[in-house]
Amino acid sequence: MPKTLTRILIAVSFLVGIAAGIPLSGSHGPRQPLPRRTIAGVSVVDTPLVRAAQQYMRDHSNQPVYKHIMRSWLFGTLMVNNNATLAALVDPEVQAVSLLLHDLGFDQSPDSPITSTDRRFEVDGAIAARHFIRDHRDGRRWEERRVQLVWDAIALHTEQSYARYKEPDVAAVSTGIFMDFAGPSNGVTPSQYNTVVAEFPNSDLRQSVQDVFTWICSTKPIVTYGVSHSQQSNTFLQPFGERFVANYSAVGHRTIDFVLGPPQA
Ligand SMILES: *[C@@H]1O[C@H](CO)[C@@H](O)[C@H](O)[C@H]1NC(C)=O
Ligand SMILES: *[C@@H]1O[C@H](CO)[C@@H](O)[C@H](O)[C@H]1NC(C)=O
């Protein structure tokens, strides 16, 4: 091929790449800015894959879970948007897809292709998210490492004792989700938090999580053992083991209840 033609072709594919919002480097090099839109005052990435993840989540969530996921997505995104150091480390599309798909394992529909009888709901979600990405036109081209980060972020999202020592992408997903239970932290202001809660009210969060955990305990009790220690919200996941599993409570464990982040004025 003549040299000039080759150069033109390279230039054209480069420009097409930019126009399509395709990141031109790996997940840890400098990134092209991705398209964005604003939800509840939060600037979120807006790629076809993220849109599709949001729709897929919507199709597999009831209304309270949908709102919990939207809040988690927005809190996690705010945490990164507010922190330039973190923003340079976190792959925004990986984070968005992970947050949007983190509770796929809550899908209670009969014959759900997602929920198993023998795996933790987090693992059901991680597996489903991997399939979702690989089935998508754009996700098919993701390098394996990005898919693995999504898998890890979802599988470990309730286990801050692991997640906080993993990649920043994984840690930030877990923290974003826990903020929905623990209130604003990590640079998210009470005012930003309350704007999100006003758009996606959280009054049904406690009951809906209790309902879904009860459903998990009754449909696959074997996966409910284990305790999750979270620095931020050490009252949240213990109910899963302690409230619903007969006599999980050992000497020294506190009586617990769900604690919602108090929306602060
Ligand atoms: C910003 O993120 C970095 C990296 O995670 C962290 O060390 C730092 O404490 C964060 N800053 C604030 C203000 O939260
Ligand atoms: C739980 O423990 C208490 C006190 O040890 C005992 O009385 C009770 O029968 C136990 N309940 C079950 C369901 O095992």
Are the CB atoms for 240 and 230 separated by under 8 Å?
A: no
The ligand with the least distance to the CA atom of 249 is 2
Contacts of 148 (CB under 8 A, 6+ apart): none
Please indicate whether residue 84, judged by its CB atom, sits closer than 6 Å to ligand 1: no
Please indicate whether residue 187, judged by its CB atom, sits closer than 6 Å to ligand 1: yes
Instruction: Give residue 199 CA to ligand 1 midpoint distance, Å.
Output: 27
* pLDDT, tens digit only, all 265 positions of the chain: 455 555 555 554 444 444 444 443 344 445 678 999 999 999 999 999 999 999 999 999 999 999 999 999 999 999 999 999 999 999 999 999 999 999 999 999 988 999 998 888 999 999 999 999 999 999 999 999 999 999 999 999 988 889 999 999 999 999 999 999 999 999 999 999 999 999 999 999 988 888 888 888 778 776 765 544 443 344 444 445 444 444 444 333 333 333 333 333 3
The ligand with the least distance to the CA atom of 247 is 2
CA dihedral 45, 46, 52, 54 (to 10 degrees): 50
Domain boundaries, the chain: 32-202, 204-265
What does 102-160 look like in DSSP terms, one character per residue? Answer: TTGGG--STT-SS--SSS-HHHHHHHHHHHHHHHSTTGGGS-HHHHHHHHHHHHTTT-H
Please indicate whether residue 85, judged by its CB atom, sits closer than 6 Å to ligand 1: yes
Candidate of 243, 247, 248 to mutate for ligand 2, largest count of ligand atoms within 8 Å of Cβ: 247
Burial (CB count <10 Å: 0-12, 13-18, 19+), residue 224: middle
Candidate of 85, 89, 165, 167 to mutate for ligand 1, largest count of ligand atoms within 8 Å of Cβ: 85
